[in-house]
Structure 1
Amino acid sequence: MTDYGEEQRNELEALESIYPDSFTVLSQNPASFTITVTSESSENEEIVQLTLQFTYVEKYPDEAPLYEVSSQENLEDEDIEDIMSLLQEQVQENLGMVMIFTLVSAVLEKLNGIVDQMKTRREEEKRRKEKEEEEKEKYMFHGTVVTIENFLSWKATFDVEMNEIRKKKQKEEEQMGKNKLTGKQLFERDHNLDTSDIRFLEEAGSNVEVDESLFQDMDDLDLEDDDDPDYIPGDIGSDDD
C-alpha cells in the first residue's frame, strides 16, 4: 500500500533543498506551498516571473495536485493561459510519480521561451524603425521615383487644376470687361469731369509763377521791328549786301 504522506514529506524536503530562495510553505495539513519561477536572462534583458502555488491532495501523486498562478510579472494573459495548459499536460503525463520539480522545470523552460520571443519582437521592431528612417532619408534626398503610372496620375491632376485656374481667370477678365467704362460713359456718369480743367485753371489764377530771368536777355537779340515797312519775315539780308 502506498504511503502518500511519506512520499509527500520526502518531496517537500527535496523541493526546499532545490529552491531555497523561492520555496515557501503556506500550510502543513494539507501541505500547501509556493515556488517562484524566474526566467533566465543576461544583463539588461527583461525578465518574466511568476509564482506557482501547489496543494497536495490526499492521494497525491496518484492524483493530480491542485495548482494555480498566484502572481506574475511581465506576462500577458495569453502567456498565463499557455502556462496553465502546459501544467495540465505535464500533470497527466506524470501521474503516479512525484512531479512538482518536473512541473516547475517545464514552466521555467516556457518562461525562457517567452523572453526569447520578447527579444525577437524588440529586435524586429528596432529593424522596422531603422528601415522606416532609411526610407524617409532616401525620400528626402532622392524624392519619388517617376514612373509612367505616377506621372500620368500627376498630369491628370495638374491638367484639372490648370483648367480650373484658366476658367477662373477668364471669368475675372470678363467681369472686369463688363465693369470697365468708356470715356463717354465716365463723362455721362460724372458731370464734374467736363469742367474740371477750367476749374483747375481758375483756382490756379495768380498762383501761377513766371520765371522772369528767362526773358532778361530779350533786348540783346537783333530782331527786326515788325512795324518797319521794309521788314520781310524770314529775310536774312539783301542782294546788295
Structure 2
Amino acid sequence: MTDYGEEQRNELEAIESIYPDSFTVLSENPTSFTITVTSDAGENDETSEVTLKFTYVENYPDESPLWEITSYENLDASDTEDILILLEQQAEENLGMVMIFTLVTAVQEKLNEIVDQIKSRREEEKLREEAEAEEAEKVAFQGTVVTIENFLSWKAIFEQDMAELKSKKQKDEELSGKGKLTGKQLFERDHNLDTSDIQFLEDGGNSVEVDESLFQDMDDLDLDDPDFNPLDLGSDED
C-alpha cells in the first residue's frame, strides 16, 4: 500500500532545497505551498514571472495536485491560459510519480519561450518601422512618378486655374478703370458689331432719317463770299 503522506513529505523537503528563495509553505493540512517561477533574462534584462500555488490531494501522486496562478508579471492573459493548459498536460503524463519539480521545470521553459517571442516581436516591429521609414524616404526623394493619367489630370487643373486667374484679372482691370477694352475684346463680347456695320452699308444708309428743311436755303448761300459768317443766318431769321 502506498504511503502518500511519506511521499509528499519527501518531495516537499526536496522542493524546498531546490527553490529556497522562491518556495513558501502556506499550510500543512492540507499541504499547500507556492513557488515563484522566473524566466531567463531577455532583452534589457527583462523577465517573465509567475507564482504557482500547489495543494496536495490525499492520494497524490496517484492523483494530480491542485494548482492555480496567484500572480504574474510581463505576461498576457493568453500566456497564463497556456501555462494552465501546460500544467494539465504534464500532470496527466506524470500520474503515479511525484511531479512538482517536473511541472515547475515545464513552466520555466514556457516562460523562456514567451520571453523569446517578446524579443522576436520587438525585433520584427523595429524592422518594420525601419522599412517604412526607408520607403518614405525613397518616395520623398523620387517624387511622384509621372503617368499619362496623372499628367492629363494636372494639365486640366492647371488650365482651369489659369483661365480663372485671367478672368479675374480682366474683371479687376475693368472695375478699376485702368483697363480699356480693345476692338478685339469688344468683338469677343459682341459678335454682332461687325454685322451691324455691314448691314448699314448694304441698306445705303437709309436707316438714317435726315431733316431736309435744314438745307433748303443752301442754294442762296454764297459760300465763296469772304464776308460770309454762318452765325448771321440765325440773326436774319430773328
Q: Does 1:121 align with 2:118?
A: no
- Structure-2 residue corresponding to 1:63: 63
CA separation of 1:135/1:23 partners in 2, compared to 1, >3 Å: closer, same or farther? same
Q: Distance in 2 between matches of 1:182 and 1:134?
A: 55
Q: Distance in 2 between matches of 1:124 and 1:153?
A: 36
How many angstroms does 1:2 deviate by? 1.4
SS in 2 for 1:110: helix
1:165-196 CA-to-partner distances (Å, cap 9, x unmatched) read 4145326635754885999xxxxxxxxxxxxx
CA separation of 1:2/1:168 partners in 2, compared to 1, >3 Å: closer, same or farther? same
How many angstroms does 1:152 deviate by? 2.0
Q: In structure 2, what residue type is equivalent to 1:38?
A: T
Cα contact 2:43–2:119 (8 A) shared by 1: no
- Structure-2 residue corresponding to 1:159: 156
1:116-161 CA-to-partner distances (Å, cap 9, x unmatched) read 0111111112212222332333334x2225253xx52253144134
1:202-221 CA-to-partner distances (Å, cap 9, x unmatched) read xxxxxxxxxxxxxxxxxxxx
Q: In structure 2, what residue type is equivalent to 1:169?
A: K
How many angstroms does 1:21 deviate by? 1.2
Q: Distance in 1 between matches of 2:42 and 2:169?
A: 75
Structure 1 residue ranges, 4+ long, deviating more than 6 angstroms after superposition: none
Query: Aligned pair count?
Result: 180
Q: In structure 1, what residue type is equivalent to 2:143?
A: T
- Structure-1 residue corresponding to 2:233: none
Q: Distance in 2 between matches of 1:137 and 1:121?
A: 24
SS in 2 for 1:58: coil
Q: In structure 1, what residue type is equivalent to 2:36?
A: T
SS in 1 for 2:45: coil
The percentage of counterpart residues that share the same residue type is 57
Greater shift after overlay, 121-130 or 82-91?
121-130
Q: Does 1:48 align with 2:43?
A: no
- Structure-1 residue corresponding to 2:108: 108
Q: Distance in 2 between matches of 1:80 and 1:162?
A: 65
> What does 1:127-206 align with in structure 2 at a 5 Å threshold?
127-140=127-140, 142-144=141-143, 146-148=145-147, 152-167=149-164, 169-170=166-167, 173=170, 177=174
1:4-58 CA-to-partner distances (Å, cap 9, x unmatched) read 1111111101111111111111111100000110001267331100100000111
Q: Distance in 2 between matches of 1:14 and 1:172?
A: 97
SS in 2 for 1:44: helix
Q: Does 1:95 align with 2:95?
A: yes
Q: Which runs of 5+ in 1 are unaligned?
A: 184-241
* TM-score, normalisation: structure 1: 0.66
